Amino acid sequence: MGAGHAHKLYRHARSPVHELPPHCKLAAVFCFVLVVVATPREAVWAFGLYALLLAAVAGAARVPYGFLLRRLLIEVPFVAFALLMPFVVPGEKVGVLGLSLSEPGLWGAWNILAKGTLGVAASVLLAATTELRALLLGLERLRMPPLLVQIASFMIRYGDVVTDEMRRMRIARESRGFTARGVRHWGVLAKSAGALFIRSYERGERVHLAMVSRGYTGVMPVIDDVTATRAQWTHAAALPLAALAVCLTGWTLT
C-alpha cells in the first residue's frame, strides 16, 4: 500500500503552501472558514476580499484556477436550493428583471452561496496541497483521538480496494447480461452490497490478524513525527488573521 495512493484531488508541486506542516494548514483552514461563517452577510465587499485572499493562496500554491473552479461544482445541489430561496421566503418583494422576489430571500441565497463557495474553495485548496497521509498525521497532531485517526487511515487505505471489489462485482453482473433498470432489480444489487459487506468485514479480520502477527497492540507507532516551527505557524496564520481583520471591519461598518 505504498506508492500510488495519492488521492485524485492532490496536485503535486513544490510551493510554500505544500511545504507547510499539515496541522498548521488544517487549523488555518478551519479558522478561516469559521471567520467567514461569522461575517455579517450585509458586508458584501468582505466576501470579495475573502475570495481575493483565497486566490492569493491558490497562486502561492500553484493550483490552477481552472482546477479550483471545476472542483467547486460539488456545490451545485445547494446552489439549486439557494436559487429557490428568493421565491419561498416571505417578506418584502422587490422587482428584479421582471420577477418579484423577496428581499430576505435574496439575502439568504447570497449568504449561502457566498459562505458555502468560500468554504468549499478553502477545503479544495487544502486537499490539493496536502497528501492524504500528511492530512491524517495533521489530524492526529491536532489531538484527534488516535483510534479515530486509525479508523480514518484504514478507511482511506482500503477505500480503493473495496471500491475495486465493487467494480469487479459490477463487471461480473454485467458480463452475465444483468442491467439494473428499476426497483425490481434492487434485490440483486442489495445482495451485492451484502456480499461486499461480508468481504470487507472478513478482510478487516485478516488485516487485524496480519497486524497482530507483526506485533500490533492497538497503537500505531509514529514513524515520521511532524513538528512546526514558529515561523511556519505564523505563515499559516496569515490567512485566518487577514480574514479576521476583514470580518471585524465588516462588523464595525454594518
Residues 149-188 that bind other proteins (CB under 8 A): 150-159, 161-163, 165-166, 180-183, 185-187
Secondary structure class of 101 (helix, strand, coil): strand
- Residue with smaller CB distance to other proteins, 154 or 229: 154
Report the residue from 20, 49, 127, 236 that binds other proteins according to the rule CB under 8 A: 127
- Residue with smaller CB distance to other proteins, 105 or 228: 105
Secondary structure class of 102 (helix, strand, coil): strand
- Residue with smaller CB distance to other proteins, 3 or 198: 198
The residue with cell 473552479 is 69
Stretch that binds other proteins, among 51-59, 200-208, 221-229, 238-246 (CB under 8 A): 200-208
Stretch that binds other proteins, among 54-62, 93-101, 108-116, 223-231 (CB under 8 A): 108-116
Q: How far apart are CA 188 and CA 191, in angstroms?
A: 5
Angle value at C-alpha 202, between 200 and 207, nearest 5 degrees = 90
Report the residue from 18, 54, 101, 105 that binds other proteins according to the rule CB under 8 A: 105
- Contact flags string 43-82 toward other proteins, x per CB under 8 A: ----------------------------x--xx--x----
Question: What would the grid cell of residue 129 be?
Answer: 496541497
Q: Does 133 bind other proteins (CB under 8 A)?
A: no
CB-count burial class (<10 Å; 0-12, 13-18, 19+) for 146: middle
Query: Inter-axis angle of helices 22-37 and 44-61, to 10 degrees?
Result: 160
- Residue with smaller CB distance to other proteins, 163 or 229: 163
Phi, psi of 100 (to 5 degrees): -100, 110
Report the residue from 34, 60, 241, 244 that binds other proteins according to the rule CB under 8 A: 34
| CB count in 10 Å sphere of residue 204 | 12
Q: Does 246 bind other proteins (CB under 8 A)?
A: no
